Amino acid sequence: MLERFDEELARLADEYRLDTYPNQIEVITTEQMMDAYASVGMPVGYHHWSFGKQFLSVEQAYKRGQMGLAYELVINSNPCIAYLMEENTLMMQVLVIAHACYGHNSFFKGN
């Protein structure tokens, strides 16, 4: 389903002459998003005890309702990697793809 929306968004981005890198869209769980927060958003990297400490801090704050999580996390690279929260509604996923995969992507490719 998301692929069809992404195709239409790609068509619109092309129509508006947005210059973007290819997109890699990943739908992730809440726990994976909290892990991404704790590891500074990088999908791979070194292991350090402080990341586990940060994960527990984020998890506890989230479960207590003291913080929310982002709708997406974007790594501005080639390809542009966008992590979308699986809890987002379909409409929110489409808006996030437009915002992150085309808006952020075009901005960072051009700057």
pLDDT digits over 16-64, tens only?
Answer: 999 999 999 999 998 888 787 776 655 556 566 677 777 788 778 878 8
Ranked by mean pLDDT, the top range of 57-61, 69-73, 89-93 is 89-93
User: Percentage helix, strand, coil, to 5, in the chain?
Assistant: 55, 15, 30
CB atoms within 10 A of CB 80: 22
Q: Are strands 72-75 and 80-85 parallel, antiparallel or unpaired?
A: antiparallel
Instruction: Give the predicted TM-score (pTM) of the model.
Output: 0.77
Q: What is the count of structural domains for the chain?
A: 1
- Name the residue range of residue 78's domain: 2-110
| Token pair recorded at residue 96 | 């996030």
CB atoms within 10 A of CB 74: 21
- Report d(CA 18, CA 77) in Å as an integer: 16
